[in-house]
Amino acid sequence: MFGYYLDLALRSLKRHKVLTLLMVLSLALGIGACITTTTVLRLLSGDPLPQKSGQLFYPQVDPNAKEGYIAGQTEPPATMTYVDAMFLLHAHRAKRQAAVALTSGKIAPQRANERPFYSDGVQTTADFFGLFDAPFEYGSGWTAADDEGGSQVIVIAGFLNQKLFGGANSVGKTIRMNDHDFRIVGVLKPWSPQPRFYALDLGGHDYGGDGDAMFLPLKTAMDLKMGPQDIECYNAVTDVDNLAAAPCMWLGVWAELPDQAAVADYRTFLANYAKQQVAQGRFSRDETALLDLMGWLRDQQVVPDDVRLQAGLAYGFLLICVLNTVGLLLAKCLRRSREIGVRRALGATRGAIFGQFMVEAGIVGLVGGVLGLCFAELGLFGIRHQPAEYASLAHLDLSMFLFTFVVAVMASLVAGLLPAWRACAVAPAPQLKAS
Amino acid sequence: MELRPIFSTLRRHKTTAWLLILEIALTCAIVCNAVFLIGQRLQRMDLPSGIAEHELVQIQLGPIGKNADAKAQSATDLAALRQIAGVRQAAMTNQMPFSCCSDSTGSIMLDPHQQQGTAQVAEFMGGAGLLSTLGAELVEGRDFQPSEYVDFDAAVQALHDGNARGLPQEIILTRGLAERLWPGQEALGRTVYFGDALPFRVIGVVASLARPKQLEQGVQYSAVLPIRMTVADGSSYILRTAPQDREAILKAAVAKLKQLDPNRVVLVKRTYDDARREYFAGDRAMAGILVGVILALLTVTALGIVGLASFWVGQRRRTIGVRRALGATRGDILHYFQAENFLLASFGIALGMVLAYGINLFLMLHYELPRLPGIYFPVGALVLWGIGQLAVLGPALRAANVPPVVATRSV
């Protein structure tokens, strides 16, 4: 039966080539636009650390002045002062914790007659690597003792190791950064979570790139006056060089909390700390927050407005394309009332007519889907050439590939529903009488 | 033209007619908003910076820790750069309007006891000749005098020691900022405060000087401070030259700087036009995407109209033949289809306007966009009417060509 419908549908589609082309093209355009923007949207709102994101939390406290504070509405700032970050770290209330800031440094080449270059880096604490599952090629991270002592140790990314040492095991070797010697303790495998969630509000980019090139202890960086990328001060600063005591926020703190109980405990601990600071007069606001990784990404709106706007636009576009296809299919099926009348008179049931028209719509959808996939590839090619941080990441993956076909067939079946229903409602007698 | 027969025909094709109306309405709504968004982007890209954009090049060298010689080095560099043939002026600045990366802002206050600042102001800092090199036009007061400049590290030290004397005492504001602080009043001679009630006297007003980024805090809210910068503070050299010489000057300047010290790292070298283009690249791309979407939408809708109209013409061949046989001219048939399309488009446009307004309200709520100006409604209507008429012309002409003999021919 299905084979017969298929044959009928193909004949009908062939009879009106231009019209068929029109339907397929418009559906394909709509689908292509949707797939392109959905891919980008998914890419940008994806989970950078799927195996662990549920256990990673971002505590926030608010040292700002009372003025402008509305209880329950004002959210605490994204970063922390050194004092607060160190208190949280030293309290050891989480399985692992790390304080993070971004920096950059001038790296001297290993070979003569090469030029020095600047690389992006992270200043952080020992647990950073375990906390975020950063994989090591050689060596390991530094220890808590290195943190305390401000040792000049460094972990470098695989690509920097490739550039400086040709990829050989460089643990124990020394590199010169900002005119200071650092001993390499570890080399990372390629590691570049997208978005770069651990540095969302610390300055720099959120997407793209090969990841940060080097990681060094926070205290070491402070001793060597390697300033962080982004500083926000809530009071008049008298000594910008003494960041440890300055009323400035520049650190992001992350905590690993394995279960609900640990999260609840940490929340209470954080709230108590804020209350205690208010009582001591250091804080004027006792608002705190403890968002998990995905919640933090949403809160920071990592997905740019433009991308969401584009997605909305694409779905509107698809809606118009579907409407267009419905109109054309409907017009076509109404013109074939006589043919339907004859088929009904010869014994075809309403269901059979309905099936026949749905098969026709389905074929349009399937072809539209294939073409839409081509358009999506074209669209993503366009996205890759856009001046955006995430541009290089825009690729069609298998799930989006399947999604395309589901969307295409669904869209065309929805488009075919009304015409098919109208077709099977055709009464045979008047149609036969008319001729 | 009698509309009654059109209505009665359309009533027989209610569903199809409604589909077409809906399609036109949605197209109208989306196109109106998309054109509006494009307008917003273009407006943003067109913001005046207040400087001699086509005459400037920028070179930024990598800072190398705290270099005691930075001051001397920067002075030597500037002197050497001024020697290059074609360089009209050279200066150092910590930031440029509409350009990425470095950006220094401060909270400005009118009263030393104010808890919260009146505005977040972009602070431009640089030594002698900054304003004239940038080409910012001084409209009131004067530029800084040589004695008023303070070195950046001295200013930091003074701040540290709480010694207000060591800080600069003068400031130059943009007209936009002065208007914001003292609407309709004289700004010269007044005092503003930064940080811990540090006073600065306004000695000049420039016509315009846009901030580097965070434009939402007020594009023109900028101030210039007489603080000499060095390479160590992450500042850039800016050179002013004739527009056609920029590329050559850029090359010569980089060569000169490398010749002075081959170990330096050039972080940024670009013409200001490039910097500005880069800053607005996202807006340009978005505008391009929107133009593409609008064209695709209009094409799809037009093709939809062509398709439906063709079918209607095919379906009504007999009726047309009868009308022609009863004396209707070709023009009558042509006008009939044109009027029908006009009618459908009008319904669609009316519905589309309501939708466009709704979408705009949604966007205003979620994306901080202004209200859709009224002019978009009549213009959008005209465009859609035009496209409808254009799309229906082919099928209508075909209908007009149906010979009267069709009426008598049996099918």
Substitution target from B32, B37, B214, B300 for chain A, most A beta carbons within 10 A: B300
How far does A95 lie from chain B, in Å, by closest CA? Answer: 36
**Lookup: tokens for B289:** 């995407």
Structure pTM? 0.81
Chain A residue with the nearest C-alpha to that of B285: A386
User: Using a CB-CB distance cutoff of 8 angstroms, which residues of chain B are in contact with residue A33?
Assistant: 293, 296
CB A105 within 8 A of CB A118: yes
pLDDT for B355: 93
How far does B397 lie from chain A, in Å, by closest CA? Answer: 18
Whether the per-residue pLDDT at B410 is higher than 60: the answer is: no
Confidence of residue A432 (pLDDT cuts 50, 70, 90): confident
Confidence of residue B344 (pLDDT cuts 50, 70, 90): very high
Mean pLDDT, range B66-95, rounded to an integer: 87
Mean pLDDT, range B7-13, rounded to an integer: 81
pLDDT for B48: 92
Could you tell me whether strands A174-177 and A180-188 are parallel, antiparallel, or unpaired per DSSP bridges?
antiparallel
Percent of chain B with pLDDT over 70: 97
Cβ of A33 and B311 within 8 Å? no
pLDDT for B258: 87
User: Using a CB-CB distance cutoff of 8 angstroms, which residues of chain A are in contact with residue B363?
Assistant: 309
How far does B123 lie from chain A, in Å, by closest CA? Answer: 15
Q: How many CB atoms lie within 10 A of CB A282?
A: 14
Confidence of residue A352 (pLDDT cuts 50, 70, 90): confident
Distance CA A209, CA A122 (A): 14
Give the residue from B3, B11, B36 showing the smallest Cα distance to B362: B36
Cβ of B265 and A115 within 8 Å? yes
Chain B residue with the nearest C-alpha to that of A29: B296
Chain A residue with the nearest C-alpha to that of B367: A305
State the Cα angle at A276 between A272 and A280, rounded to 5°: 170
- ipTM summary value: 0.81
CB B107 within 8 A of CB B214: no
Provide the mean pLDDT of chain A.
Answer: 87
Q: What is the C-alpha radius of gyration for chain B, rounded to an integer number of angstroms?
A: 32
Q: What is the pLDDT of residues B101-152, one digit of tens each?
A: 667 888 888 888 877 778 889 999 998 889 999 999 999 999 999 999 998 8
Q: What is the pLDDT of residues B65-74, one digit of tens each?
A: 555 678 888 8
Q: What 3-state DSSP class applies to A249?
A: strand
Whether the per-residue pLDDT at A67 is higher than 80: the answer is: no
Chain A residue with the nearest C-alpha to that of B368: A305
Whether the per-residue pLDDT at B17 is higher than 80: the answer is: yes
Give the residue from B53, B42, B39, B43 showing the smallest Cα distance to B98: B53
How far does B102 lie from chain A, in Å, by closest CA? Answer: 10
Chain B residue with the nearest C-alpha to that of A24: B300
Check residue B141 and report its DSSP letter: E
Beta strands in B249-372 (DSSP E): 266-271
How far does A52 lie from chain B, in Å, by closest CA? Answer: 31
Distance CA A295, CA A290 (A): 9
Mean pLDDT, range B39-57, rounded to an integer: 92
Q: What is the pLDDT of residues A259-310, one digit of tens each?
A: 999 999 999 999 999 999 999 988 888 889 999 999 998 888 888 888 888 8
Cβ of A324 and B303 within 8 Å? yes
Residue with the larger pLDDT of the pair A74 and A140: A140
